[in-house]
Chains A and B, each alone.
Chain A
Amino acid sequence: MDMSQYLDLFIDESKEHLQAINERLLELEKTPEDMSVVNDIFRSAHTLKGMSATMGFEDLANLTHQMENVLDGIRNRRLSVTPELLDVIFEAVDHLEAMISSIAAGGDGTRDVRRTVEQLKRIEQGEMPNKQAAREEPPLEHAYGEFEYYVLEQAKEQGFSVYEIRVRLRDDCLLKAARVYMVFEQLNEVGEIVKAMPPVEMLEEEQFDREFLVTVVSKAPADELQKRLMGISEIDDVKVSMLSSNEPSAESEKASAPQQPAAMEQAEAVQAEAEAPEKQTAKQATKTIRVNIERLDMLMNLFEELVVDRGRLEQISRELNHAELTETVERMSRISSDLQTIILNMRMVPVETVFNRFPRMVRQLARELGKKVRLDVIGAETELDRTVIDEIGDPLVHLLRNALDHGIEAPDVRAARGKPEEGTIQLRAYHSGNHVFIEIEDDGAGISREKVLKKAISRGIVSPEEAEHLTDEQVYELIFAPGFSTADHISDISGRGVGLDVVKSTIESLGGTVAVDSRPGQGSLFSIQLPLTLSIISVLLVQIAAETYAIPLSSIMETALIRKEDVFYVHNQPVIDFRGKVVPLVRLKDVFAVPGASDDSETVPAVIVRKGEKLAALAVDSFIGQQEVVLKSLGNYLSSVFAISGATILGDGRVALIIDCNALVK
């Protein structure tokens, strides 16, 4: 049966199951006695195993199978939940995720998971994992492919013997590669080496512990091989075993193993699902369909055309003043604005899709850092445009790592400061107006003003004189400066060569802002403000001579009417006094060389825009009004035009350019 048509479905569903397993495992860690959680994990793992086996992904099925056995042990109270046990299961989930990603990327989903499978097996047999066991090498084992097996069979038919030789070097062996060479030489004298484990290249590079395995075809008796090899110095032990002829190849064994149980377990899975009907129905309450975002974009484009035509129809019906026509057009307008809302909503995705990978990450990091941290996630259902969602993950990861690494103190430090040993990081998302806020708040050490200033001065970001006059807020802003890091030494966690400046620039590229607040000793708050969607923005339309331009509301502070006599000149640059601040006046008709523009009016309408702390007044001819517009690119031919960030289509079908205020504020 051709399974490729189910592949997308398989990948999507597998991801969902893995996510569910991840979440439930974290829950399990908090409530180890809750068997309903174990049951949920078991069911997800079980379904995943069935699906993988059906799709022919054997490594996946094997690993899930072993994981399931352990879960079964927990379910039957044969095994108890410990952080070490969960570490192994999490590792297995990591492997599964990597396999699914590999399959999604067009790979075959194979992966060396023997170590994890081995650990799971040991746990299943009641042996609790410890750090020692985790590091121990898995027993070496040869797996022969179909072709190799055929060759070996041929050799046997011709009267050769096939030996598997396990060579163990002495602990104090200095030149391991040299010993391997000598072993190979000895064996080549009496036979032929067919296969080595680890592969020869790894042996040559000494990438093995103490033991290696070779398969040799030879006419010599086993004890002769043994004697030859034992003659080499620094060799601890040699075990020669004959590969018997009717032994099935390891790989074909692997291949057949999961198939059969999988078929049986499909039936079992149905049973398992039937056992918990209430949970299943709850999950199926909202039915969804996956749609390619390009199709949504196409729908959006078509809809915009409709809106433009609607505008024309409205105008015509006003002119004709025909009652029935007016009524019909009004109805159409209402329906189409409802339609617009629906289309926009279709692009919205809950931030949950980004947030849900964080609990796992925080757990792991906390364990690595030896800190106790609780992550509270609030408002995961808050929705954001798909395009924003895709970009926001990395900055959030960075801020969370930062909070864990630099914010939350070690348990003993916290205790000494009279805080609970367990630190708390709160990840919040909420709507406010046309924006979504995402906040990361920790109850850690906060940001040290002195430390930040010291660093900023040493990096030449501010001068010592300037530093004295900075407000706390301005000081905290400094940590977003390029090349800044408050860590005394670069750690593996957040000091990966990139600072918070990357976070800031990513968020700003999304049309958002990031702010930081901190109380020394009590914690820090990073607040990210994001637009609801990237495709629709609020603008102020302005007129310059006969041309219409759009200025994004997000950069506008306010509008003002400036009298001519209030314009001053500093070095030939017109400036105005805006609330006691000297602000440069930028004449857009000059910047954009607008034809037919004259400036003889007594008052100049101006838009005060800001870029960070800096302001500029953009002089225009008149304000048209505020409008929500659909953002469009100028296309690949006009890739970079000064002070123009894009275009939009107005109600009359014409194109208006959107002004990039950041380019105009210097």
Chain B
Amino acid sequence: MSMSVQTDWKVIAFRLQEEEYALPVQYVRSIEKIQPITRVPGTAPYVKGVINLRGVVTPIIDLRERFGFAPEPYWEQTRMIIAAFGDIEVGLIVDAANDVLDIPAASIDPPEAIGAIGAAYICGVAKVEKRLLILLDLASVLSE
């Protein structure tokens, strides 16, 4: 997710803790409603477990907990964004996923510009019209 590429980004926008995040579409396989999760003992707290995604056992990460936000009960808008990065496929639990949009490369600022907390998981911030979108750095979300 290099910022130097001067092309527009097509992203999936999702809500988390009253903020809007975005993940480039090439990492997104599908968006699923919440379904029964089997807990896997001995894993990090933010790893909620695994689900049966059309015959493939897929691990699920709660992004709120991954970012150190307070956990919230799942509601009808809660979604799992199934993302693939290299040979890893995971589901990310987000408060809601609602939009696909294009972000012009010119409107993206590096994360340092806003001095955001948890900037480790962010690779940029984009301003599109009146919305502020935080660009998710999937590699660091998935790293230990």
Query: What residues of chain A have their CB less than 8 Å away from a CB belonging to chain B?
Result: 301-302, 304-305, 308, 547, 591-595, 632-638, 641-644, 647, 649, 653-657
Contact = CB atoms under 8 A, between A and B. Distances in A.
A102 to B, nearest CB: 30
B87 to A, nearest CB: 5
B143 to A, nearest CB: 11
Interface in B52-78: 52, 54-59
A547 to B, nearest CB: 7
Given A634-B57, A638-B47, 12 more contacts: A302-B55, A595-B39, A632-B57, A634-B59, A635-B88, A637-B89, A637-B90, A638-B50, A647-B50, A647-B57, A653-B36, A654-B38
Contacts of A633: 57
Contacts of A642: 41-42
Interface in B22-45: 36, 38-43
A432 B57 CA distance: 32
A301 B56 contact: yes
Contact of A649 (B42, B43, B52, B89): B52
Nearest to A650: B52
Contact of A653 (B49, B52, B89, B142): B52
10 contacts: A305-B54, A547-B38, A634-B57, A635-B57, A637-B90, A638-B50, A644-B41, A647-B50, A654-B38, A657-B41
B41 A592 contact: yes
B51 interface: yes
Contacts of B58: 635
B38 A647 contact: yes
Contacts of A655: 38, 49-52, 57
A647 B40 CA distance: 10
Contacts of A304: 55
Given A301-B55, A305-B55, A655-B57, A634 B41 contact: no
A594 B56 contact: no
B38 A641 contact: no
A656 B38 contact: yes
Interface in B92-119: none
A30 B25 CA distance: 67
Given A547-B39, A644-B41, A638 B59 contact: yes
A634 B42 contact: no
A654 B36 contact: yes
Interface of B: 36, 38-43, 47, 49-52, 54-59, 87-90, 142
A171 to B, nearest CB: 62
Interface centre among A593, A641, A655, A657 (most CB of B within 10 A): A655
A636 B47 CA distance: 14
Given A593-B41, A594-B41, A657-B38, A634 B54 contact: no
Contacts of B38: 547, 647, 654-657
A641 B56 contact: no
B36 A634 contact: no
Interface centre among A592, A633, A657 (most CB of B within 10 A): A657
B37 to A, nearest CB: 8
Contact of B41 (A641, A647, A653, A654): A641
Nearest to A304: B55
B140 to A, nearest CB: 14
Nearest to A544: B41
B42 A641 contact: yes
A297 to B, nearest CB: 10
Nearest to B44: A638
A550 to B, nearest CB: 11
Contacts of B90: 635, 637
A453 B101 CA distance: 73
A305 B53 CA distance: 10
Contacts of A647: 38, 50, 57
Nearest to A591: B41
A161 B138 CA distance: 71
A635 B29 CA distance: 16
Given A654-B38, A656-B38, A657-B38, A641 B43 contact: yes
B118 to A, nearest CB: 20
Contact of A657 (B40, B54, B55): B40
Contacts of B52: 308, 649, 653-655
B91 to A, nearest CB: 10
